[in-house]
Amino acid sequence: MRHLFHRYIFTGLVLIPGFTTLSAANVDFTNNLSDKNIEWWGTGKSEIYDMALHIVGQEFTGLDITAVSFPVVTDQAVTDYTIWLSNELALEDKVNVPDIISYPAVIANGTATVTLASPCRITENGIYVGLSFNVTSRETDEQKNPIAYIDGADNYGFYLHTSRTYTRWAERSDNLPYSIPVTLTLAGVAENAVALTMPSEVNTGIGKEAPVTAHIINRGGNDINTITFSYTSDNGMTGSLNVELPEPVKAGFNRSADVTMQLPATNIIGTSDFTFAAVAVNDVENPCTDNSAVTTLNVWSHIPRHRPLMEEYTGMGCGWCPRGTVGIEKMRELYGDDFIAVTHHCEDELSIFDDNSRPNYAPSQPVAWLDRWRETDPYNGDNPTIEFGIDKVWQSVADEFTPAEIEVKWEWTDDTKETISATSTVNFVKSSENSDFRVAYMLVADGLNKAHWYQGNYYSGHKGEFPEEFDFLVESPQHIFNVTFDDVVILAESPNGIEKSLPTDIKANEPMQHTTHLQLANACNLSGENLVQDKSQLSVVALVIDGETGRVLNTAKSSKETDNVDRITFENNPTDVTLYDLTGRKVTTDYKGIAIRVINFSDGTSEIKKTVLR
């Protein structure tokens, strides 16, 4: 979910004026807030279907249902649509018997709707909202698959009973991970109300404002335009933040968004608990009972720059894999040296891992893993179609706080250039005891090429079907020869980290060094063939890994031999990042197009880069 950036005003002590609550409203609730595509499923049989959701939760208790609608198929053999409400799911003689109401539905434009004669109150035990119908033939797709669903089970369940296949009422999400899309009209909703959740913790550096992202949930009948937050901490800090949203959270029960605020800077390292409350919405007192939440603020000496490791799994014979190369090149244009990517080849002459020894699960390619815990696509990211999106996923991982920072440098041990001595320097801003942190090293090669190597290319000939950066692939044959492979891991002897490479007791801000030796003779593929071709095209990637979880905490990549310098700058961290368009106007990360990124560092230096925001 994208962040809503806003203006904020720090007013000091909490002085909230005498807000009043407006009258109640009617508002629609849907469990398809993200507008997922409606799909269809069924048993393929002629039978009676009964399906239901369980609408339950503090947010619904005491509200009234006045109307219900479901998406349905319109087919002459699918009849007797009935919408019903019940306190429990029960059968008599194998027939569904709702105990509150049951109404024939009105069918129009693919929707079954019932407007209740009188409102039905939702109790603390919740209420089952259901749809029943009869399928009398099984010839068409609509008859075989009459249940509308959206991917992913939600909190409301997928309860199903049919007259022939599922003869008992049961919650089916374990084997049918679907949700039944429904829209309810709710009465008794306050016109202006918002619920609030907070992250479990927030991290900032000493002397820096702390960005706090609250998740707000619309529980009212109006759009949310402004929110007044109050906060108190266990160390006596209090204040109020008035938030004006540039884009409102639209009316709709449970519609939500993220709102980022800035807490004032503090010069004391340590931990404190902050209680936030959304006390007013649109300048009206917030009546929502779950309008407060607690977050822990951690103040460190500084915030390490997080460089996520992207490991792409690819293969020469994989026709869809070239999009990984396109994604890596675009990411380097956007993020420069902060973007560290390596490729693991699978089932070809550049493979050094078999199926059982890869750092991540990769039965099919292409696939990318970020920091070995976040699976995604190396170009699309989480987009379901061919659309550049890896930048958003990478940035979300880069925004995760890491307590560790790492740098690496290397040199040849002698003039034969057969052994590399790699030294990593690791620093933690957080002390720990009895820990299992480790360092791992990977030898990476660019410029690998042999005459008989080729790259499969399924994009060949598909003009106009892919983004323009795929044009060179579209214009290339299905087997591209004379390919040069970059970023290839050719040696990783301890991919999960070298045991005891870091002490078990970690002291904050006391850098630790570790040295290993990489023998080029060991850089071989699974057939024993050495993969070193050009020694000037080698790099070392070093990782600091949490041995308990397997997660990569941070990554560093050395320069190649011709530019191998010491880049250890733990105390020189970015203090702020500002974006401008080409006219010099300041913009936010929602901006699309060519922008100028200005990064200021703690040593007073700045870095200016042109970037493309999408």
pTM of the model: 0.77
Q: What is the pLDDT of residue 154?
A: 80
What average pLDDT does the chain have?
A: 89
Helices 322-335 & 390-398, crossing angle to 10 degrees? 50
pLDDT per position as a tens digit, 411-432: 999 999 999 999 999 999 999 9
pLDDT of 175 = 84
Torsion on CA atoms 244, 246, 248, 254, rounded to nearest 10: -80
Task: Answer for the pair 227, 259: CB distance below 8 angstroms, yes or no.
Answer: yes
Alpha-carbon distances, residue 130 vs 91, 112, 160, 337 (angstroms):
14, 11, 9, 55
Residue 599's pLDDT band (cuts 50, 70, 90): low
Domain boundaries, the chain: 3-23+191-300, 27-189, 309-401+439-496+523-557, 574-613
Residue 308 sits at the vertex; the CA angle it makes with 428 and 513, to the nearest 5 degrees, is 35
Contact yes or no for 116/66 (Cβ under 8 A):
yes
pLDDT digits (tens, 9 = 90+) for 103-162: 999 999 999 999 999 999 999 999 999 999 999 999 999 999 999 999 887 889 999 999
Tell whether omega for the bond before 322 is within 30 degrees of 0, i.e. cis: no
Q: In what order do the strands lie in the sheet with 606-613?
A: 586-587, 574-580, 593-601, 606-613
Collapse the DSSP code of 366 into the 3-class scheme (helix H, G, I; strand E, B; otherwise coil) and give the result. Answer: coil
pLDDT digits (tens, 9 = 90+) for 491-514: 999 999 999 999 999 999 999 999
| 49 burial via Cβ count (<10 Å: 0-12, 13-18, 19+) | buried
Checking DSSP bridges between strand 256-263 and strand 3-4, what pairing results, if any?
A: parallel
The CA distance from 480 to 472, in Å, is: 11
265 phi/psi in degrees, rounded to 5: -70, 150
pLDDT value, residue 136: 97
Mean pLDDT of the region 428-442:
97
Q: Which of 261, 278, 224 is nearest to 6 (CA)?
A: 261
Q: For residue 12, what are the CA distances in angstroms to 229, 230, 239, 244, 292? A: 12, 10, 5, 18, 19
In Å, what is the CA distance from 445 to each residue of 417, 470, 497, 561?
15, 24, 20, 12
Of the ranges 12-21, 37-46, 266-275, 560-569, which one carries the lowest mean pLDDT score?
12-21
Question: 3-23+191-300 has which CATH code?
Answer: 2.60.40.10
- Of 487, 465, 463, the C-alpha closest to 331 is 487
Token output for 480 = 């591209």
SS (H, E, C) 337-354: HHCEEEEEECCCCCCCCC
Structure-token match 């968004």, residue found: 257
pLDDT number for residue 268: 87
| Distance separating alpha carbons of residues 507 and 401, to the nearest angstrom | 18
DSSP 492: -
Above 50 in pLDDT, residue 434?
A: yes
Backbone angles phi, psi at 391, to 5 degrees: -65, -40
310-323: average pLDDT: 97
Single-letter code of the amino acid located at 224: I
First-residue to last-residue Cα distance in the chain: 15
The arithmetic mean of pLDDT across residues 431-435, rounded, is 96
What element of type H or E holds 103?
strand 101-104
Name 597's bridge partners.
Answer: 579, 609
pLDDT in tens, 237-252: 899 999 999 899 999 9
Contacts of residue 255, defined as CB under 8 A and 6 or more positions apart, other chains included, come to 33, 217, 218, 249
| CB-based contact 81:132 (threshold 8 Å) | yes
User: What pLDDT band is residue 607 in, cutting at 50, 70 and 90?
Assistant: low
Q: Report the alpha-carbon angle 430-551-531, nearest 5.
A: 125
What is the number of other CB atoms lying within 10 angstroms of the CB of residue 287?
A: 18
Nearest to 280 by CA among 211, 199, 225: 225
Which of 140-154, 336-350, 562-576 ranks highest by mean pLDDT?
A: 336-350
Which 3-state string (H, E, C) describes 429-443?
Answer: CCCECCCCEEEEEEE
Mean pLDDT to the nearest integer, 449-468: 95
Q: Looking at the predicted structure, is the pLDDT value of residue 3 above 50?
A: no
In whole angstroms, give the CA distance from residue 377 to residue 174. Answer: 26
How far apart are the C-alpha atoms of 550 and 40, rounded to whole Å? 39
Percent of the chain predicted with pLDDT > 70 = 87
Whether 49 contacts 162, CB under 8 Å: yes
What tokens were used for 333?
Answer: 């244009």
